[in-house]
Amino acid sequence: MNFNIYLDDQTGQQLNHVAKQEGESRNALVRQAVSEWLNRHGKSQWPDEVLAFKGMVSATGRLQPAEPALE
């Protein structure tokens, strides 16, 4: 699939410089950047059931909250 994009002069110059430095084409660098961005911002890897998990009911009938995520 082909796309045309327009870059400001400074960004275009930076892209040219990095492409030359890395021995890659500008198109290859743009493809890589878009792919990496989509991987970071795409659909979550966790199933909806896991994301919706609130906890489990204990033997006493009380809700045991899920452990907080470690950061």
2 lies in some domain: no
Instruction: For 37-60, write each residue's pLDDT tens digit.
Output: 988 887 767 778 887 887 777 777
Please indicate whether residue 69 or residue 11 has the higher confidence score (pLDDT). Answer: 11
CA-to-CA separations, 16 to 2, 10, 13, 19, 29, in angstroms, rounded:
19, 10, 5, 5, 10
Sign of torsion over alpha carbons 21, 24, 28, 32: negative
How large a percentage of the chain has pLDDT more than 90?
46
pTM for the complete prediction?
Answer: 0.57
Q: The domain containing residue 39 runs over which residues?
A: 9-65
**Strand residue runs (E) in the chain:** 55-57, 63-65
Distance (Å, whole) CA 22 – CA 34: 17
What are 59-70's pLDDT values in tens digits? Answer: 777 766 666 656
The number of domains in the chain is 1
Q: What is the pLDDT of residue 3?
A: 86
On the question of pLDDT at 36 being above 70, the answer is: yes
Residue 24 lies in a domain: yes
Antiparallel, parallel or unpaired: β 63-65 and 55-57: antiparallel
